[in-house]
Structure 1
Amino acid sequence: MSSPDPESLLQRQAEAWWVRLHSGRATRADADAFREWATHSTAHAQAWREVMRTWSALDPLLAEEAVRQASRAGAFSLRGLSAALALQSPRRRAFLGGAVAASVTAGVMAVDPPLGLWPSVGELTADYRTATGEQRQVALAQGISVRMNTQTLINRIGADTGPRGMVLVEGEAEIVANGASDFLVETGGGRLVARAARFNIRHTGPQVCVTCLDGRVTVSVNGEQRSLEAGRQVTYDKAGLQEVVRADEASVSTWRTGILSFDRMPLVEVIDEINRYRPGKVLLRNEELGRTLVRMQLNLRSIDNAPVMIRELYGARMRSLPGGIVVLS
Structure 2
Amino acid sequence: MSKSFDPHALEQVDSVEASAAVYFSLLRSSRATAQDYADFDNWYARDEAHRLAWARVEREWRQAGAMRSDPRILTIRERALANRRPRHGWLRPLAAAAAVLLVVAGGLAYHQLGRAPNPPTLMAGTNSRALSTDVGQQMTFRMVDGSTITANTASDLSIRESDTRRSVLLQQGEAYFDVAKNPQKPFTVMANGVKVTALGTAFSVREREGAVAVILVHGKVRVDMPAVGGDTAQSAILAPGRRLVWRNGQFSTEPVDAERELGWRTGMINFDRAPLENAVAEMNRYSTQKIVIVSSRIARYPISGSFRLGATRGFLQSLEVAGIARIGKENLASVELTAP
TM range (shorter): 0.5 to 0.7
Q: 1:241 to 1:315 in 2, by over 3 A?
A: closer
Q: 1:232 to 1:297 in 2, by over 3 A?
A: closer
**Given the two structures, how large is their TM-score scaled by the length of structure 1?**
0.55
Q: 2:323, 2:194 → 1: CA distance? A: 39
Match of 2:275 in 1: 266
Match of 2:131 in 1: 128
Give a deviation string over 1:73-128, Cα, whole Å, max 9, x none.
xxxxxxxxxxxxxxxxxxxxxxxxxxxxxxxxxxxxxxxxxxxxxxxxxxxxx921
**Is the 1:307–1:326 Cα contact (8 Å) retained in structure 2?**
no
1:195 pairs, out of 192, 199, 210, with 199
**Is the 1:278–1:304 Cα contact (8 Å) retained in structure 2?**
no
**Is the 1:233–1:246 Cα contact (8 Å) retained in structure 2?**
yes
Alignment gaps of 5+ in structure 1: 1-125
Residues 1:151 and 2:154 are matched in the alignment: yes
2:326 pairs, out of 317, 321, 324, with 317
Secondary structure of 1:196's counterpart equals coil
Match of 2:70 in 1: none
Residues 1:229 and 2:239 are matched in the alignment: yes
1:317 partner amino acid = R
Match of 1:239 in 2: 249
Q: 1:154 to 1:247 in 2, by over 3 A?
A: same
Q: 2:264, 2:296 → 1: CA distance? A: 27
Query: Greater helix share, 1 or 2?
Result: 1
Q: 1:135 to 1:184 in 2, by over 3 A?
A: same
1:220 partner amino acid = D
Secondary structure of 2:244's counterpart equals strand
Q: 2:194, 2:155 → 1: CA distance? A: 17
Q: 1:134, 1:219 → 2: CA distance? A: 28
Give a deviation string over 1:157-182, Cα, whole Å, max 9, x none.
577x9973111122221102214411
Q: 1:291 to 1:217 in 2, by over 3 A?
A: same
Q: 1:135, 1:162 → 2: CA distance? A: 28
Q: 1:317, 1:301 → 2: CA distance? A: 19
2:178 partner amino acid = V
% identical aligned pairs: 23
Match of 2:266 in 1: 257
Residues 1:285 and 2:294 are matched in the alignment: yes
Match of 1:177 in 2: 179
Alignment gaps of 5+ in structure 2: 1-128, 227-232
Give a deviation string over 1:184-237, Cα, whole Å, max 9, x none.
111133111112111111223443221221221110112210112333331112
1:311 partner amino acid = E
1:260 partner amino acid = I
Residues 1:248 and 2:257 are matched in the alignment: yes
- How far the C-alpha of 1:154 sits from its partner, in A, is 1.0
> Deviation above 6 Å: which 4+ runs of structure 1?
none
**Is the 1:141–1:163 Cα contact (8 Å) retained in structure 2?**
no
Q: 1:319, 1:245 → 2: CA distance? A: 37
**Is the 2:197–2:223 Cα contact (8 Å) retained in structure 1?**
yes
2:291 partner amino acid = V
Secondary structure of 2:135's counterpart equals coil
1:233 partner amino acid = R
Secondary structure of 1:272's counterpart equals helix
Q: 2:329, 2:143 → 1: CA distance? A: 40
Answer 1 or 2: higher relative contact order, Cα 8 Å, separation at least 6: 2
2:169 partner amino acid = V
1:210 pairs, out of 185, 207, 214, with 214
Q: 1:199, 1:293 → 2: CA distance? A: 28
Query: What are the residue-to-residue correspondences of 1:97-116 with 2, within 5 Å?
Result: none
Give a deviation string over 1:265-303, Cα, whole Å, max 9, x none.
111111101101123211111111112122233223644
Query: What are the residue-to-residue correspondences of 1:27-42 with 2, within 5 Å?
Result: none
Match of 2:190 in 1: 186
- How far the C-alpha of 1:305 sits from its partner, in A, is 2.2
**Is the 1:151–1:171 Cα contact (8 Å) retained in structure 2?**
yes
Q: 1:147 to 1:245 in 2, by over 3 A?
A: same
2:238 partner amino acid = L
